[in-house]
A and B are shown apart, each in its own frame.
Chain A
């Protein structure tokens, strides 16, 4: 059973701080990693994807991947109250399968 684990939170950070969200996965053959943001009552929205070890930056967001340790993280710099949402980590294995495995998400609260 392929598993993707996330701390459910809530993770509470003050406005302007760095929010750090973590995700671990069990399938060592995983090749593609994604972070989705889901506001309450809304559908998930893709914010980052990463495929290689290291960091990938996009605006205030940085995804970090460490395949040896089987974890992927998302850093949000200069956190804003509008970043308050649930962040879902998703992992796709190799081999052409499009079946993704999602974590249950981490709730982030950015307070003014």
Chain B
């Protein structure tokens, strides 16, 4: 069974631009969570989608948004990029949102210049 895939793997943007990241969960998994990982703050929860609905949201500004499609694929969008948004963005999928069975994708490394 294929694992979680994320595209693109690397991205360079400039301040003020916007970016869209994509995540395809493991086949059959309906929950997708997004995380931001930085050396300074560690791994922080952004939001979780289940059956096309945002079910949980972390403490991030409204510039960070996401959505989930009927096939469970998810996208995350960051508008008006800031230098501090440079990070590794990870998505994780699970069958029904059971946190203990989350599988992480390889991540998208975003650099904002």
Contacts and interface: CB of A to CB of B under 8 A. Distances in A.
Interface of A: 32, 34, 42-46, 49, 88, 90, 92, 97-105
B100 A104 contact: no
A101 B103 CA distance: 16
Contacts, number: 45
Nearest to A88: B43
Contact of B45 (A46, A49, A100): A100
B107 A43 contact: yes
Contact of A98 (B48, B103, B104): B48
A44 to B, nearest CB: 5
Contacts of B100: 32, 34, 46, 49
B99 A100 contact: yes
A102 B55 contact: no
Given A98-B33, A98-B97, A100-B99, A44 B55 contact: no
Contacts of A44: 43, 90, 104
Contacts of A99: 45, 48, 56, 58
Nearest to A97: B56
Nearest to B103: A46
19 contacts: A32-B99, A32-B100, A34-B100, A42-B106, A43-B107, A44-B43, A46-B101, A46-B102, A88-B42, A92-B99, A98-B55, A98-B97, A98-B99, A99-B45, A100-B45, A101-B45, A103-B42, A104-B42, A105-B42
